[in-house]
Chains A and B, each alone.
Chain A
Amino acid sequence: MTFAGQTQTKSAEAPKTGIGAYLSAHLREYGLLFALIAIMAFFQIVTSGTLLRPINLTNLLLQNSYIIIMALGMLIVIVAGHIDLSVGSVMGFVGALAAVMIVRWDQSLALTAVVCIATGALIGAAQGYWIAYWSIPSFIVTLAGMLVFRGLSLWLLGGESVGPFPREFQSIASGFVPDVLPGGAAMAELFGLRNFNMLSFAIGLIAAGLVVWSGLGKRAQNRKYGIEDEPKAFFVARIGIVALALVFVFFKLSTFRGLPNVMITMGILTVIYAFVTEQTVLGRRVYALGGNRKAAKLSGIKTERLTFLAFVNMGALAAIAGLVFAARLNSATPKAGFALELDVIAAVFIGGASMSGGVGKIVGAVVGAFLMGVLNNGMGIMGVGIDYQQMIKGLVLLAAVIFDVYNKQKG
């Protein structure tokens, strides 16, 4: 290697100094995955295998579905440089609205769903308007929203629980996708199980295949343009672990009742939002807005409108979460969604988003939510008191963010 003209050629890239250096440079991305695996392994051991039992795994997904759905919207709000403290209340309010519409007014499910999601979007618009066009800090506007919608759900429900819902509505959260593929019985026999959901297993295999395929594609492209060479061992390990985990989880689900409906909702939403944030003009502009609002504005980006839309979107997702939550509890209660916004925000920050905006990924937020979910679930099985649970969750959040900041300063 010559020294002349080095700065202009690809060969001048920072010399590879081995796997250790690469790992320390990308500690955050792997850290989250490793942390999730470590925590799951830990609870799997101390709960003597309860954590990964099919029924518990199914529960884990159901319990966290509404957090994950809201984390998708919160990620965008936080990347845009804002925060939304009202999502728990909005979720509760929309659940209450759904209960009142269905149980008291006897409206159809379809109409209820449409009205509820539109209401959520409208609430988001009302808050986003002040934040985007009047530059009122989002912390204040949504803190006000949190109180207003908490009060509104109390008022709407008249202070009491409303329920139960008809079966179809419940199935939003607690239903399962029926097995339409043949071969379930044979598999059940093979593994010595009572039943086996072939569809669920097939989807798991497809999902794992997609992860491998897109991983390989991205790696090939990175190579072509000479960006960060992820050491092969890391690539194989990372993709392998994710694919195997998917197959494993879906297999476990197959041996219980198959795919929960809500998992489909969650999966589709996650894919859509990951696509929008990473692959579209709209998503790119949100990152630019959060990274440097003034520069984005001077580049011709309509920063106000984008901020507004981020909150509209958040409201709609909170509404969907509200429907799922009400369906899962099979009733709407005045306390529904209380303090849930904090879990959602924590999930996004654990997932690597930055308080100052411009940084964060959908996948990170989802993994962050799962991490919190596994903590909750695992500690619940162990019988850890709610007092300790809160303390531990708090410390995990703090540790994740300290880790981020430390990494950034070191880099």
Chain B
Amino acid sequence: MQTPLLEMRSITKTFPGVKALDDVTLTVREGEIHAICGENGAGKSTLMKVLSGVYPVGQYDGEVHYAGHRAAFHDISESEAEGVIIIHQELALVPLLSIAENLFLGNEVQKNGVVNWPETYRRTESLLQKVGLKDAPTTLVDKLGVGKQQLVEIAKALAKDVRLLILDEPTAALSEADSQALLDLMLELKAQGVTQIIISHKLNEVRRVADTVTVIRDGQTVSSFGVSDGITEDRIVRDMVGRSLENRYPPRERRIGELLMEIEDWTVHHSEQADRRVIHGVDLNVRAGEVIGIAGLMGAGRTELAMSVFGQSWGQGISGQVRMRGTAADTSTVGRAIAAGLAYVTEDRKSLGLVLDEEIRRNVTLTNLPKVAKGPVLNHNEETRVSEGYRGSLNIRTPSVFQKVVNLSGGNQQKVVLAKWLFAEPEVLILDEPTRGIDVGAKFEIYGLINDLAAAGKGVVMISSELPELLGMCDRIYVMNEGAFVGELSAAEASQERIMSLIVTE
């Protein structure tokens, strides 16, 4: 058997407090397309960062062997020099430069600092031909759709004499037709001898192009097999999610009451592209004392759904009905949504949830300042008293509410965001990834708080990418994919396999 092009042996990478990769092994043969599958947060991206030198040699344990020698990349430029090129999910193109300028960015065809434009355009044209793009080299990247931009990225990789091309969820943002074109291109590149690694959730695509599949879960390699070995999608799904429910979820006495909120036929268009529909006629309801979940992969449209409902904070061309306790509610601005009894706890607490440089108490009261004021004048004592109350009841670990939020840990910051929204006295709370990036202990506390909220008769809508969390917490789970609900499962029916297969087999 020939030596593989790439061998990653026993890769272990730890971040403070977290083992992101634990003894991962990956073997990629020369000339194949190798798929890496796994849930969000399984460690796929971390593994690729180790490979490309984003995490330089020495910051991880284990060995990387590439093209027959021990590779010790210190940064991306070193790995690129040897032909290892990653195309990230978020495209790294400069929108206001032309295709040609982008292709040779940092790698200009030049002599003594002067760009040789005729040669640049000549090379660009031949590269564009290879990826099947017919636009002129002078076209601004801005003017291209996402699909074509993806092709430009690949052309850019080819311009650098790629030997191992890594595509991170290349079709996530593409339409069906664009996806097919991209997959065809991948097969064509393979015929030309370019080895490729594709990270994807879409098993039909994996089966179509990949020769080998490696499944990663919780930072460990679970399995690796050839696609021709008659592997079913079920098997891959099981490997992807198959962890036992070892996390504990605090028990809750389920007392489900009246209907609190109903969303009907909710349709939203993209905030920048008015003709692109992002949410397709979604129906949702939540009752008092009920915790419902919205499962789905990143990019399924869960955050967009939540934010568009909450004061139309995202998107345009929004249509549909929101009813609170049976009567139509106006949620067209954040102020009105709050008045209607809604709260939205953002997934991005640092940039959307908190004023980091301000004190805890000043963050807590922000949603409902008049409550701690007499007319226009603030009552600082009352503000302090209220915030101290939340510090106690939510167990926010900090010496006092006069601490700046920026100095708190992730879990405690999350509690401040929760406190802030509890202070607004909502009936329905939409929690978007409420436990992202916080440690296990804090997670458990947050789960407890969610249970308390439900017990107090609030409706909770929980958006999460962690399936076990949804399964452990929710009474009902909606499964979302590509902007639409593709299923609704009761707690009894729901399992990771069922949810995953609803997602992957559209």
- Residue ranges of A at the interface with B (Cβ–Cβ < 8 Å): 7-8, 10, 12-14, 221, 225-228, 279-282, 284-285, 287-288, 291-292, 294-302, 358-359
Contacts and interface: CB of A to CB of B under 8 A. Distances in A.
Interface string B388-419: 10000001011110100000000000000000
Contacts of A13: 399-400
Contact of B351 (A8, A14, A228, A294): A294
23 contacts: A7-B398, A8-B397, A12-B399, A13-B400, A14-B399, A221-B380, A225-B384, A225-B400, A228-B402, A279-B377, A279-B378, A280-B373, A281-B376, A284-B365, A284-B378, A291-B355, A294-B352, A296-B355, A300-B311, A300-B334, A300-B335, A300-B367, A358-B358
A8 B395 CA distance: 8
Chain B: interface secondary structure? mixed
Given A10-B399, A225-B384, A358-B357, A299 B366 contact: yes
Contacts of B346: 298
A225 B311 CA distance: 36
Nearest to B391: A8
A96 to B, nearest CB: 35
A8 B394 CA distance: 12
Contacts of A281: 369-370, 373, 376-378
Contacts of A291: 355-358
Q: Could you say which interface size class chain B belongs to? A: 35 or more
Nearest to A14: B399
Contacts of A12: 399
A271 to B, nearest CB: 14
A227 B381 CA distance: 13
Nearest to A278: B378
B338 interface: yes
B269 interface: no
B27 interface: no
Contact of A280 (B337, B362, B378): B378
B373 A300 contact: no
A297 B313 CA distance: 9
Which residue among B333, B354, B356, B399 has the maximum number of chain A CB atoms within 10 Å of its CB? B399
Nearest to B310: A298
B353 A295 contact: yes
B13 interface: no
A298 B381 contact: no
B357 A298 contact: no
Contacts of A279: 377-378, 380
Contacts of A228: 402
A284 B399 contact: no
B420 interface: yes
B447 interface: no
Given A10-B399, A300-B335, A288 B358 contact: yes
A262 B397 CA distance: 50
A292 B356 contact: yes
A299 B334 contact: yes
Given A281-B370, A285-B369, A297-B334, A292 B355 contact: yes
Given A298-B352, A300-B367, A280 B377 contact: yes
B362 A288 contact: yes
Contact of B313 (A8, A227, A298): A298
Interface in B307-355: 310-311, 313, 333-335, 337-338, 344, 346, 351-355
A295 B335 contact: no
B94 to A, nearest CB: 21
A292 B313 CA distance: 15
B400 A10 contact: yes
A359 B334 contact: no
